[in-house]
């Protein structure tokens, strides 16, 4: 085999347009991180390592034939549920929330696993009952979603609970949940809002209230919102220029390399930069939808659709939070924020998308 052939075989299962979009976002990430960390190469290198590991995992998943992917659904879901129960029983408490499980070797956050596990399980379940779908099946699928959500919301980890709810809801929606049920759920959700409000933790209510008046808590969480909005707004049309963001470099912005990295970008590259970034995201999302539309089985259609929509939701929630239209829920900007865990979860999802695209001709229904 020549080098060229080897290379071709290596990338055979990758979806090149999708990979290009991801790659561009990743390069942007490194660029912003360098500025956000005040020229700290350690952060940039650390993020590169995270990306490399995640890309390798993505490659492995992309090479996984679809029936293998389906077979992982039940074990992954059950493992995730078992771990969530363990967290509830003897998880470690940190920052007032019980989210982590100490395995002796490493501390893990099982809710991350469920970001993939829940839609995977639901799509698998629908595939199994595809021929005879009734309302009962939707009900059971909803239960599959609600059990982990309840456990995660109790930790409490509202951000993750909302995102997983969204990814599960997308599966239900794409699986054809009737409009009437969706309408009823919507009304029910509105009606139960006061009840939910009373169940929220004080700090969670606080964050939502602050959205309406950030100056209420100028030293605490409101500070994040105020400084984020100032950074974005002062960026203007063309931005202040790379490495010239005053909000960033005069220490005004909190969590610059993680949840608020978008503010750094927005301040330095302005509205034009934001348009470019939205386009990049839209490119990746659009490619995801194309893969979804071409997917060959019920399972892959649901899975691909949910992955793509969830990715879009992540991006929206983070940018909305930084620009002050959503409460601060601690969701990183996908593919850009510093951090290994979210990078890995996202790229596992993209690996599945690629596998769905490149293996579609092997399984035809």
Question: Site residues (CB under 8 A) for another protein?
Answer: 38, 93-96, 130-134, 170, 173-174, 176, 202-203, 217-220, 223, 229-237, 246-247, 250-252, 266-267, 270-271, 274-275, 278, 281-282, 285, 289, 292-293, 301, 305, 308-309, 312-313, 316, 319-320, 323-325, 365
CB of 206 to another protein, least distance (A): 9
Residue 299 to residue 73: CA distance in whole angstroms: 11
CB of 130 to another protein, least distance (A): 8
C-beta of 277 vs 344, nearer to another protein: 277
C-beta of 113 vs 284, nearer to another protein: 284
C-beta of 59 vs 173, nearer to another protein: 173
CA distances from 246 to 218, 259, 277 (A): 19, 18, 21
Omega within 30 of 0 (cis) for the link into 156? yes
CB of 248 to another protein, least distance (A): 10
CB atoms within 10 A of CB 258: 16
C-beta of 95 vs 180, nearer to another protein: 95
Residue 361 to residue 280: CA distance in whole angstroms: 28
103: three-class secondary structure by DSSP = coil
C-beta of 64 vs 140, nearer to another protein: 140
Residue 132 to residue 264: CA distance in whole angstroms: 51
C-beta of 12 vs 93, nearer to another protein: 93
CB of 40 to another protein, least distance (A): 8
Tokens of 326: 């959503």
CB of 226 to another protein, least distance (A): 8
C-beta of 75 vs 233, nearer to another protein: 233
The contacts of residue 201 (CB under 8 Å, 6+ apart) are 96, 156
CB of 47 to another protein, least distance (A): 16
Q: How far apart are the first and last CA of the chain?
A: 34
Secondary structure (DSSP) of 250-280: TT-SSSTTTTTHHHHHHHHHHHHHHHHHHHH
State the chain's maximal CA–CA distance in angstroms. 67
CB of 60 to another protein, least distance (A): 28
106: three-class secondary structure by DSSP = coil
243: left (phi over 0), alpha (psi -120 to 50) or beta: left
């Amino acid at each position: 085999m020549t080098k060229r052939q080897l290379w071709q075989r290596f990338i055979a299962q990758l979806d090149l347009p999708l990979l290009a979009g991801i790659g561009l976002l990743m390069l942007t990430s490194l660029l912003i991180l360098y500025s956000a960390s005040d020229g700290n190469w350690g952060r940039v290198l650390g993020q590169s390592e995270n990306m490399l590991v995640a890309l390798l995992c993505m490659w492995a998943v992309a090479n996984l034939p679809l029936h293998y992917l389906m077979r992982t659904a039940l074990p992954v879901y059950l493992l995730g549920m078992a771990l969530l129960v363990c967290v509830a029983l003897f998880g470690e408490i940190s920052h007032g929330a019980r989210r982590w499980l100490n395995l002796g070797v490493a501390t893990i956050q099982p809710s991350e696993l469920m970001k993939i596990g829940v839609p995977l399980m639901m799509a698998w379940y629908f595939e199994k009952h595809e021929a005879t779908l009734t309302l009962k099946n939707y009900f059971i699928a909803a239960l599959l979603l609600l059990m982990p959500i309840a456990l995660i919301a109790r930790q409490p980890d509202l951000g993750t609970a909302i995102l997983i709810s969204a990814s599960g809801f997308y599966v239900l929606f794409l699986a054809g949940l009737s409009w009437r049920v969706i309408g009823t759920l919507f009304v029910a959700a509105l009606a139960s809002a006061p009840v939910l409000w009373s169940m929220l933790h004080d700090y969670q209510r606080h964050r939502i209230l602050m959205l309406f008046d950030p100056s209420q808590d100028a030293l605490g969480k409101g500070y994040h919102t105020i400084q984020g909005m100032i950074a974005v707004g002062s960026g203007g049309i063309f931005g202040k220029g790379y490495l010239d963001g005053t909000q960033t470099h005069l220490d005004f912005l909190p969590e610059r390399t993680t949840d608020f990295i978008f503010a750094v970008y927005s301040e330095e590259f302005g509205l034009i930069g934001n348009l470019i970034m939205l386009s990049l995201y839209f490119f990746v999302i659009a490619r995801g939808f194309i893969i979804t539309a071409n997917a060959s089985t019920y399972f892959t259609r649901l899975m691909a659709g949910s992955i793509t929509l969830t990715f879009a939701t992540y991006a929206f929630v983070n940018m909305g939070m930084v620009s002050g239209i959503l409460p601060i829920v601690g969701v990183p900007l996908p593919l850009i924020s510093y951090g290994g865990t979210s990078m890995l979860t996202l790229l596992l999802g993209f690996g599945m998308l690629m596998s769905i695209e490149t293996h579609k001709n092997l399984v035809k229904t």
